[in-house]
Structure 1
Amino acid sequence: MPSNNLSTPGHFVADLSDTPIAAIDTIDESEKARSSWSDAWDSMRVRPMFWIATALILVILLVSLFPGLFSHTAPNSGCLLPNGNGGPEAGHPFGFTRQGCDIYSRVIFGTQASVTVGLLATLLVTLFGAIVGALAGYYGGAFDALVSRFGDIFFAIPTILGAIVLMSVLPDRTSITVALVLAIFAWPQIARIMRGAVIAARSSDYVMASTALGVSKLQILVRHVVPNAIAPVIVVATTSLGTFIVAEATLSFLGIGLPPSVMSWGNDISQARTSIQTAPMVLFYPAAALSITVLSFLMLGDVVRDALDPQARARR
């Protein structure tokens, strides 16, 4: 036995080079550190629901951006009263409305208005609510109290009810107008979620370390706190997009959303009320398009929530 080994009767201590301990303790510095977003991606990409929802959403977005690729028939042209409530035929797979217009073409071109309102409303609510909530949660004090009380006022008003009242007095009803009205009454939810996440993150060690290094509060908020607090906001924004599409359809159904001249699923559903007993399929197709779109975003939001919040998945 080597002389540098400690030995006792029947025992010996091997050299460190002869053991795998050195290899076990070795750190591979070439491997990049994994972030929570990388872990979330690994969690999402193995779930079939994620790919199904993503595929549906991509198709819906493609239809809304380029409706002419999916329908060569202008929705308002060729409307013949003799075709009213007619069934499917060559070139018109969904049949005709009461006015003799092609249902398939209206469903395709109606995607643009409905999805536009949902995307704009979600973008406005997320940006405004996240910024206000982050500032209120990080700086606190009088600004936090003011934002909280101001948000409580809007939070107490149901979004649809507030939108009905406001839209009924607005002379101009466009996709941008509807999105702005919905955002006015929906931002407090995002602001509250962002505020709570920022309050939880501002007491973290990396925030205290940055403060000790002399980094300004605004830089700490933008570079460190917000990226670590934005996950719950992304989850809510994903599911809210479908909610805003439904809200636009509800307002248009009631006659105070987009004007009848604008094709949207809500307007088509509203016009189909008079034919629901004699030709229920006139109502079925725009309602099915609306349901599939909302379901797609809800499915995606469910997957994103589980990926960004493992505790939610464990509680199931």
Structure 2
Amino acid sequence: MSPANPMNRRKERIDALAAGSATVREAGSVDEKPGVSLIASAWQRLRRNPVFLVGAIITVGFVVLALVSSFVAPHDPAANLLIEKVRPQSNPVPGPEAGFPLGADDAGRDLLSRLLVGSRQTLVVGVFATLFGLAGGMTLGILAGAFGGWVDALVMRFVDVLLSIPSLLLAFSIAALASRPSQLTVIIAVAAVQVPVFARLLRGSMLAQRSSDHVLAARALGVNQRAVVFRHMLPNSLGPVIVQSTLVLATSIIDAAALSFLGLGNPDDRQPEWGQMLGRAQPFIYDYPHLAVLPAVCIIIVALGFTLMGESLREALDPKTRR
């Protein structure tokens, strides 16, 4: 077979297609598949991602445990059930026994029950701190991204000042201003740290949306500024913010535990919280390390779960890092 024959057959086929004597099926077909939304496409990748699945299992397990902790705890976490076995000199911390698999703390309270109920307090602090930080950051980000100009400059200088202060130092300073430490002061302090993070992220996303075709078209049609911002710019800018909120949950839990450890959390230890338990275990860290190790491991595992899930969401939704 001469080399010219394949070229001749290809030329004849092209001529036949141009003349309409050959069908499209004869020339070959392209498989048509229905379009997939960004969320559906991200979910297809996430459900095959083992990192996301591990993070989701940890996160869901933590949330479910926090919700049912009061029902599954074997004892009242505030009851001094083993107080008669506490000996300040010889046995300050009762060990495990029947009905108390992890023993008790220095006040004779069941350690397992305090860990279980403490998960609920940790979840409340982390969720509400993230929500308050998200609300404040979105307010500043919308102002800066929607108006621009001197409003943008003023808001961003305020955000830069907040970002220039180390996050834990800022949270510590805000919590220390309260006349009486409480769980609410911890939530406000941790939320204030997250405000500049959300504000800068949302502002950047909205600035990118300002020059997009659909926003320019809406303005050309005479749509008012409020509708452009809240119907066109904001909904398309929330993706990165939602992903960041998952990562911030892990940071909020760690910061709240640090403030409680330093004594700036809820002073009433009848309502256990993991960071508070860490601070209370400090005098016994050498002789009874399990009092500090157990709540510390719980904090680490929960923070790891939120971090793994957040990073996987970021990779799935970001076109630059999709795998």
| 1:152 alignment partner in structure 2 | 160
Q: 2:83 aligns with which of 68, 73, 80?
A: 80
Q: Does 1:206 align with 2:209?
A: no
Q: Report the 3-state secondary structure (helix = DSSP H, G, I; strand = E; otherwise coil) of the residue aligned with 2:74.
A: coil
Output the CA distance in 2 between the equivalents of 1:38 and 1:174. 42
Q: Which amino acid aligns with 1:171?
A: S
| 2:63 alignment partner in structure 1 | 61
Q: Does 1:297 align with 2:300?
A: no
Q: Report the 3-state secondary structure (helix = DSSP H, G, I; strand = E; otherwise coil) of the residue aligned with 1:109.
A: helix
Unpaired segments of 5 or more residues in structure 2? Answer: 1-10, 87-91
Q: Report the 3-state secondary structure (helix = DSSP H, G, I; strand = E; otherwise coil) of the residue aligned with 1:197.
A: helix
Unpaired segments of 5 or more residues in structure 1? Answer: 1-8
Kept in 1, the 8 Å contact 2:167–2:193? The answer is yes
Kept in 1, the 8 Å contact 2:134–2:194? The answer is no
Q: Does 1:71 align with 2:73?
A: yes
- CA 1:93–1:20 in structure 2 vs 1: closer, same or farther (change >3 Å)? same
Q: 2:242 aligns with which of 223, 234, 244?
A: 234
Dislocated runs of 4+, deviation >4 Å: 9-12, 21-28
Q: TM-score, normalised by structure 1?
A: 0.87
Q: Report the 3-state secondary structure (helix = DSSP H, G, I; strand = E; otherwise coil) of the residue aligned with 1:66.
A: helix
Output the CA distance in 1 between the equivalents of 2:205 and 2:176. 36
What percentage of aligned pairs have identical amino acids? Answer: 33
| 1:175 alignment partner in structure 2 | 183
1:16 deviation in Å? Answer: 6.2
Q: What RMSD, in angstroms, separates the aligned Cα atoms of the two structures?
A: 2.5
Residues 1-316 of structure 1: matches in 2 within 5 Å? 13=16, 15=20, 18-20=23-25, 24=29, 31=34, 33-77=35-79, 78-83=81-86, 84-261=92-269, 262-313=271-322
Output the CA distance in 1 between the equivalents of 2:26 and 2:265. 70
Output the CA distance in 2 between the equivalents of 1:184 and 1:68. 30
- CA 1:99–1:223 in structure 2 vs 1: closer, same or farther (change >3 Å)? same
Per-residue CA deviation, residues 32-55 of structure 1 (Å, 9 max, x unaligned), is x43222222222121122222222
Output the CA distance in 2 between the equivalents of 1:254 and 1:21. 76
Residues matched between the structures, number? 303
Output the CA distance in 2 between the equivalents of 1:10 and 1:220. 55
1:127 deviation in Å? Answer: 2.0
Output the CA distance in 2 between the equivalents of 1:217 and 1:205. 16
- CA 1:82–1:131 in structure 2 vs 1: closer, same or farther (change >3 Å)? same
Output the CA distance in 2 between the equivalents of 1:167 and 1:131. 22
Output the CA distance in 2 between the equivalents of 1:10 and 1:270. 84
1:135 deviation in Å? Answer: 2.7
